Copies of this chain bind each other. A is one copy, B any other.
Amino acid sequence: MNLQYPSRLLEKAVNEFSKLPGIGSKTSLRLMLHLLRQDMNSVEQLSQAIYNLRHDIKYCNTCHNISDTDICPICSDIRRDRTVICVVENIQDIMAIENTRQYNGLYHVLGGIISPMDGIGPSDIEIESLTERVGNDSEIKEIILALSPTMEGDTTGFYISRKLSQFNVRLSVIARGISIGNELEYTDEVTLGRSIINRTPFEHKQ
């Protein structure tokens, strides 16, 4: 769409906004015209929140989670189990796992995944710092790899497992199997095959 904007302010805002992934110029225009109808204060809040987020955010020195402080709330929480580290690709993964309320250990955010196709190698993500962390902290007993079950996830997991083989820590991966609530017949065959190989003893309460 090659639109003629009646205002350069509007054009600038629409252009900046449509740089966001998944926001086209039509959606952007609709949202900017919506903002024009909101009161000044709430638009200021939005503008300020975006600025503050980028300007003031910190990354946890230990686990690379985002944080308002140098050490993130999870790493500084004394009630958490310091013997387990769950390795994830990004911050959304931490939020997803925290949301399950099934995990009480620490995390390590790689900030990406090994992907030769995208030019991302082991040195581009936080693997070195994970190795150091495990090497320096004798409290750590287990590393859980919670990476996506993709080629890239598996490659990254394999690389990490080799790096950590020098240390006396248990390495585990999150279970792969059929999704709860899914129909068996619609599950893909690789997943179904793995869920048979990795079957667990039947318990009355799953």
Contact = CB atoms under 8 A, between A and B. Distances in A.
A102 B166 CA distance: 74
Interface string A44-71: 1111111111111100100001111000
14 contacts: A1-B99, A4-B95, A6-B72, A6-B91, A9-B53, A9-B68, A13-B53, A15-B49, A16-B46, A17-B49, A17-B50, A30-B92, A35-B53, A47-B50
B50 A43 contact: yes
A45 B57 contact: no
A29 interface: yes
Quick one: copies of this chain in the complex? 2
Interface of A: 1-10, 12-13, 15-17, 19-23, 27, 29-36, 38, 40, 42-57, 60, 65-68, 72-74, 90-92, 94-95, 98-99
B2 A99 contact: yes
